[in-house]
Amino acid sequence: MRTLNLALGQINTIVGDFERNFEKIVEFIEKAKKAGVEIIAFPELSITGYPPEDLLLKPEFIDDNLKYLEKLLPHTAGITAIVGFVDRVDDIFNAAAILHNKKIAGVYHKIFLPNYGVFDEDRYFQAGEKVKVFSLNDIWFGVNICEDIWYPGGPSRDQALYGGAEIIINISSSPYHYGKARDRYRMLSVRAADNDVIVAYVNLVGGQDELVFDGNSMVVSEEGRLLAKAGCFEEQLLMVTLNPADVFKKRLHDPRRRKEKRLVAVEEKVERIALPPLPRKARKEKLASEIIDFLDPTAEVYRALVTGLRDYVRKNNFQKVVLGISGGIDSALVATIAVDALGHENVIGVSMPSSYTSSSSKSDARLLAENLKIKFYEIPITNLYQAYLKELEPIFQGREMDITEENIQARIRGNLLMALSNKFGWLVLATGNKSEVSVGYCTLYGDMVGGFSVIKDVPKTMVYELAQYRNHQAGFDLIPENILKKAPSAELRPDQKDTDSLPPYDVLDPILRAYVEEDISFEDIVSRGFEEEAVKRVIRMVDGNEYKRRQAAPGIKITHRAFGKERRFPITNRYNRSS
C-alpha cells in the first residue's frame, strides 16, 4: 500500500530573527524524523518571519535569508522539508523551497499575490508563473502558497488535474479575524472535493504587531473531510499518515477530469519533478493523528487577544506592563487579558481617581487588582488637576468649563502612566475599545496613551461578552459583577454616562459594523431600521476622528476590517453622503 507520513510544523516565528527561526525549524524537523515522517511542511516565509514588509527592500536581508536556507540543508538528511523563504532570481519571490535529503530539489514561486486588507505583496514580490508537482516514493504532491489555494481555478486545480498531484501542500501565513478558521476549513474542504485531492494546510501561529496568526493547520481528505487538525494559538507538530489510493479510487468515478485534462497539454501547465527515493523502512509505522476542534467564537477571540499581547510584549523585549484601572469594564478586561498573557507578577495596575471618581469605581478597581493578584498603586489626580486649572485660569477666564477640562484629567493620567513607563521600563497598555476609537470618544495624549492597545479592534458589546466568558472560565466573578452591571462612564464630570455623548452600544456597534467593516452606505444603514439622525451622527464622528486614529497605538486585529493598515481614509476629506 502506498502511504505517506506527513507532518505540518505549526510554528511561531519572529520577523528578522533568522537564527531563532532556523533553530525552531530544525527542532521540528528532528521531532518529525524521530516519528518516522517523510515530508514536513512549514508556514509561508518561515525563515524570515511574516510579514517582513519593508525589510524586503534591504538586499542584505534577502542575503541572510538565503544563507539560512542553505544552513538548513544538512538537517534534511533522510527527510523532505518544505520551507517558506524569499527567493531571488532577477527579482524577489515569495517562495517555497523543497529541501530533500540535504539538497534543494525545487523551488515554487507564489502565483497569486494578495493586495487587499492587511496584505501588500504586490509592493514587494514578483508573481510566479510555473506550477510544479513533485513525486516521492511514487506519490505525487503539489506545493503552493497561501493565497494560491483560495482560487478555484488556481494552482491547486492545475497541480491535481494536469500534474497528477494526489496531495496538495499549502504553506500559509493567514492572519486571524473573527470566524476565519471555520471559513478556511470550508474553503479547503471545497477545494479538496472539487479537485479529488488531499489538501494539507499549514499555518503560522503567534502575534506580529497588529496581526495574530491562529494556526488551525489541517489535513482534509479528497472528500472534504477532516483527517487531522492542530489547535489554535499554539505551536504544534501535526502528523498524519495519508493513503493516496483513496484519491485514485475517487478519480475513477469522476469522468469530468478526463474530459478537462484532454483540453490542455500537461507540459504547458505543470513541471513534474521526481525526487530521489528516501530509504524505505521495512515496516513503516502509521502516525497517530488528532483532530482538535474549533474553539467557541468568544473563546477564540479571547485566545487571540492573549496571544497577540503576549507576543508583542515578549518579542519586543518587555517584561512588565502597566495600565490605568478605572473601575470600568474596558480596563478590567485588559488587565485580565494581561495577567493571562504574562502572569500576574508582570502586570501593574494604577488607579488615578479624581473628585469625579465614584467610591464604587475606586473599590471595584481595588477588588479587581486583588482578584488578579497584581501590584496596584493609587495616585489621586485631584491636586494635579487643580494645579492645571489654576495655571490656566488667567487664560480661560470668562469661559465655561467644557470638554477641555475633562480632557485635562485624561491627559494627567496618561502623563503619570508614561512617567512610570519611563522610570521602570514598563510597557503602557491603552484600554480603549473599537466603539470608542471609531467615534473619537477618547482623549488624544490621554487615555489613548500607550505602546499597545489590546482591545482596539474589539467592539464594546463584545467587551462584555469576553468579560462574562472569562468569569465563567474562572468559576467566580474574577471581574467584579458591579463592573459588568454599572452604566459605562468616563467619570470626568458629575453624573456622566457614555450615553450622554453616544447612542447605546447595542445601537452604536451595529451601525459601526455596517459603516466601518462592510462599507454600507448611509441610505442602506438607515434601511436596516436605524434612526436617520443617529446614523448621520455616527458617520460624522467616524469620519471626523481619523486624525486621532492615525496617532493611536497599534492593536490586535480581531474583526474583518480593522483601523490602520486595513482601513485607510484621508484625514483631509470633505466627502459626506449623509449630510
Query: Which residues are annotated as catalytic?
Result: 44, 110, 146
Query: Parallel, antiparallel, or unpaired: how do β-strands 139-145 and 131-136 relate?
Result: antiparallel
* Sequential DSSP letters for 525-540: HHHTT--HHHHHHHHH
Question: Vertex 346, ends 344 and 348: CA angle to 5°?
Answer: 85
Burial call 400-429: b when 16+ CB within 10 Å, e when fewer: eeeeebbbbbbbbbbebbbebbeeeebbbb
> What are the Cα distances from residue 554, in Å, to 150, 441, 469?
28, 17, 25
- Cα–Cα distance measured from residue 420 to residue 352, given in angstroms and rounded to the nearest whole number: 13
* Sequential DSSP letters for 211-224: EEEEB--EEE-TTS
In the numeric block, which cell numbers belong to residue 479? 471581574
The three-state secondary structure class of 171 is: strand
Q: How many Cβ atoms sit within 10 Å of the Cβ of residue 239?
A: 23
The three-state secondary structure class of 67 is: helix
Q: At what angle do helices 297-315 and 329-342 cross, to 10 degrees?
A: 70
Length of the chain: 579
- Cα–Cα distance measured from residue 32 to residue 202, given in angstroms and rounded to the nearest whole number: 15
The three-state secondary structure class of 116 is: coil
Contact 449, 550 (CB under 8 A): no
The three-state secondary structure class of 337 is: helix
Helix (H) or strand (E) holding 29: helix 18-35
Contact 272, 133 (CB under 8 A): yes
Contact 56, 124 (CB under 8 A): yes
Question: Vertex 276, ends 273 and 277: CA angle to 5°?
Answer: 120
| Alpha-carbon torsion, ordered 263, 265, 271, 277, to 10 deg | 100
